[in-house]
A and B are shown apart, each in its own frame.
Chain A
Amino acid sequence: MAASTDSRTDSRTRRRKSARRPKSTKLNTPRATPEAIQEFRTKSPRLRLISVWLVLILGMVGLGGRLAYLQLMIGGDLKLMAEEQQAIQATPRTSRRQMVDRQGNVVAMDRVMYTLYVHPMLFKRSGEAIAQALSSVLETDPHELVEDFGEQESGIKLAEDISEETAKRLRGLRLDGLDLRPSPQRVYPQGELFSQVTGYIDLDGAPKAGIEIELEDALKYNEPKSEVEALQIVTRDDLQMQLTIDSRLQRIAQENLAATVAEYNAKRGALIVMDSKTGEILTLAVAPTYDPNRYYDAEVEYFKNWAVSDLYEPGSTFKPINVAIALENNAISPNDTIYDEGRIQVGEWPIQNVDFKYIGGRGPISITDVLRYSSNVGMVHIMEKMQRSTYYEWLEKLGLGNATGIELPGEANGQIKERDQFVNSAVEAATTSFGQGFSLTPLQLVQLHGTLANGGMKVTPHVVRGMVNGEGELTWSPERSAPKRVFSPETTRQVLNMMQDVVDDGTGSAAKVDGYQIAGKTGTAQKATEYGTYGNQRITSFVSIAPVSDPRYVVLAVVDEPQGENAYGGTVAAPLVKKMLESLVVLEGVAPDEVASGKQQSSPAEAESN
């Protein structure tokens, strides 16, 4: 290097070169000579190594510190944020299981309904614009909406019971500040048809009346625990609660009962059909009734199913039971004769037949005639042949004074006199013999006549068949007591034959159905006033068992306080039962009594086809 500079600047800058040399070694040459660099590098690789190591260590410490911060300090918050982000919010569509009727039609179901809240502080557009958009969907006045927006900054409830479609339209508006909260609401598609059986759910979601409150545990889904709510909704079963009620028969019963109650201006009515073989109730129609979807429009007293929770004195409809008791006890035999004076005095109480004024005493009549003409005096004489204590035991055995055990709430226990009072006083047994002086519910009377229909077994009437799954298999049914035998089949057969004459030729002839043998009994009982005496209001009833050749169904119609001159069991209640029976035999496929031989019914059909 030195040689090259020398050769170039030799002549001119000799002085300068010499003066510059000490500087040039510093300026023109690099700061560090190659040797110096080598020196540095070979001398301290350790320094470089240590510095690299330090950098790496610092990085690791920094990362470790950040990790500790994230996990320990704000770990909880981050976890919450992550869960919020990840957890899918499942809309709570159902909180209770569905109820279906005998055929599988849905009687009660849940439906999701939205409540619209607005938060004006989150509005991106002006209140008027938003009010305009909302009013077109909600169909309310925009000015009212603007006023509502001025109330609070957030959490204003604008509308309730918004359906899914409307909610979709509201979401499609894409407005900030709208908040749709879903919640399940119970809906009864059949309206007032099943209201007395299902009950209703009030606006707060609490069940009231009927099966909703009685079997709430079976109907309500378990509350999902907060953490895995959405997944628990997946695991929900699709069980439905199946009722034994047939909605077609129920509809026919409800229509006709309402018509009869209106026609006779009665206070209320009930129409019950039970399958005595199993105790399943096919129809439980009550008038007046209410629409459970709009329960708030109804009177409070309609919420109570009076067929289950109100007591009444059965009157003459109880007479066949008494005859069965007497027959079973061998106090009488079916061919005995009873002397009917028409009017007797028991103790200090006069007892007379209903038609005593027109006919007077009938004299010696058969047991069948006692039932046919509904003779109170005859019944008194029949039951006199039994010891009162035995009679009382029989009444207890039949369950008078207790409830039937149906799955409806508020069932009333029947009332009978105390044993001492009954046994010691003749008039008690006398009045009981023609169905007064004690009380029971219409449902209990159906149960008692069921014992006559199925050959002497006392079954538990029930409206709930159980829980059925998607394939229709029964997975659970409520606990019921087993049927108990109270009468022998011969006794029931004899009583049924007697009852058949009532319909064929007696007070119940209005209930005759072509081609079928019907057994029945009318009942017209005087109602006790609030002062304890009997007023002139009646409670009319008609109970029927069909068909006689193969007894199965018990139909009871009760009409309370029908007005008018001709308001008796035979005129008010029996036609109602006839209409019910006609539909019943068709829908349930009850063969007419002549077809048992098989020939007569099929030959017209053959003749037609040939």
Chain B
Amino acid sequence: MVFATDFDPLEQPQRHQTSDLSKIKSATDLGTHQTYDDLPVATRQRRQPSGHGQLRKGQLSASQTRRARAKEAEAQRIVTEAAIAEFERDASVAQQQSAQKGNAQKGSSVLTIHASSSTESATKPLSFSKRASLPFGLTLLNRMQQGSAVVATALISSALLLYGSTVYVDKSTSRALIQLDALQSESQQLTTANEAIKQSLAEQATLEDSGLELYEAGDVLFLAPEPVREAKPLPEETTEKLQPLGY
């Protein structure tokens, strides 16, 4: 199969050789044990300039090769007749006509190229003014497929992110909770110890041999604050300029 967008007639000459080589390889791989030498000469010749995109894609079945060969024989006949008839016409006119004619008919355009390139010795570079375009429905579907591919990628990545985040959040929460538990335990133990120390100190203080006494009324001094004095002005500093002493 070839996708219509992939087909670029301008590049056909390069593709011919590669497709041939691959096709020949595939033909041998099929176990037909037919080498290139076994093929009839006519086929060999015919195969070389072939522009069929479908042959480029690799392995063919036996029936397909036969069909291709039959098609080629037919095409060759037609082409030689047409080439002789149209040879007088300008090559560019022929190109334009072929371009304007049904572009979907890739077979026919190929054949026309085939004709001009096989009959002419000096081939002019061909340029198409317009590329082959598809019906609107297919383009739309194509665009939709691309868009949905993007959306699918985005959704999948976000789903993975979410999943990862749930696992991560759970793990970090449990770690934090373990830390909190440890801190709470520590705080409880510290408070208990602190209060126990205070209690034992107080109990020791009330014992007779502690050297501590109960408060008495004169134990605290009450001082009345002095009234606020106004700030004394600082004496101005008189900087004496020393006379330069010379010795």
Contact = CB atoms under 8 A, between A and B. Distances in A.
Contact of A513 (B178, B199, B202, B217): B217
A41 interface: yes
B177 A579 contact: no
B192 A109 contact: yes
A54 interface: no
A251 B217 contact: no
Contacts of B202: 251
Contact of B217 (A88, A164, A515): A515
A39 interface: yes
Nearest to B205: A251
Contacts of A88: 173-174, 177-178
B181 interface: yes
A229 B141 CA distance: 53
Interface in B185-216: 185, 188-189, 191-192, 194-196, 198-199, 202, 206, 214-216
Contacts of B177: 88, 90, 230-231, 234
B224 A191 contact: no
A605 B220 CA distance: 12
Interface in A464-492: none
B105 interface: no
Contacts of B221: 601, 605
Interface string A504-524: 000000000111100000000
B239 interface: no
Given A191-B199, A230-B177, A251-B202, A86 B170 contact: yes
Contact of B195 (A42, A90, A106, A579): A106
Interface stretch (A271-279, A527-535, A589-597): A589-597
A111 B188 contact: yes
Number of chain A interface residues as a range = 35 or more
Contact of A251 (B174, B189, B206, B224): B206
A476 B199 CA distance: 29
B247 interface: no
Contacts of A191: 199
A601 B223 contact: yes
B3 interface: no
A516 B32 contact: no
Interface stretch (A30-38, A331-339, A372-380, A555-563): A30-38
B157 interface: no
A605 B223 contact: yes
Contact of A583 (B32, B178, B214): B214
A362 B218 CA distance: 38
A38 B30 contact: yes
B230 interface: no
A252 B32 CA distance: 116
B241 interface: no
Nearest to B186: A164
B175 to A, nearest CB: 9
B182 to A, nearest CB: 10
A112 interface: yes
Interface residues of B, number: 39
B217 A516 contact: yes
Contacts of B224: 595, 598-599, 601-602
Nearest to A594: B222
Contact of A106 (B191, B206, B214, B215): B191
A600 to B, nearest CB: 10
A96 B220 CA distance: 39
A59 interface: no
B142 interface: no
B63 interface: yes
Given A38-B62, A582-B217, A164 B180 contact: no
Contact of A190 (B178, B194, B199): B199
B104 to A, nearest CB: 26
Interface in A562-587: 579, 581-583, 585-587
Contacts of A90: 177, 181
Contacts of A112: 185, 188
A514 B218 contact: yes
A583 B188 CA distance: 32
B219 interface: yes
A380 to B, nearest CB: 37
Given A106-B195, A189-B192, A592-B222, A93 B30 contact: no
Interface in A70-113: 86, 88, 90-91, 93-94, 105-106, 109-112
Contact of B181 (A91, A231, A587, A605): A91
B222 A34 contact: no
Contacts of B63: 38, 42
A111 B192 contact: yes
Given A230-B177, A601-B222, A585 B217 contact: yes
Nearest to A249: B215
Interface of A: 34-35, 37-39, 41-42, 86, 88, 90-91, 93-94, 105-106, 109-112, 164, 187, 189-191, 230-231, 233-234, 251-252, 255, 513-516, 579, 581-583, 585-587, 589, 591-592, 595, 598-599, 601-602, 605
12 contacts: A34-B31, A38-B63, A88-B173, A106-B191, A189-B196, A191-B199, A231-B177, A252-B214, A252-B215, A598-B224, A601-B224, A605-B221
8 tightest CB-CB pairs across the interface, nearest first? Answer: A189-B195, A42-B61, A598-B224, A38-B62, A586-B215, A34-B31, A583-B215, A88-B174
Given A90-B181, A94-B184, A602-B223, 20 more contacts: A37-B30, A38-B62, A42-B63, A91-B185, A93-B188, A94-B188, A105-B198, A187-B192, A189-B192, A231-B173, A514-B218, A515-B218, A583-B215, A585-B217, A586-B215, A586-B216, A592-B217, A595-B224, A599-B224, A602-B224
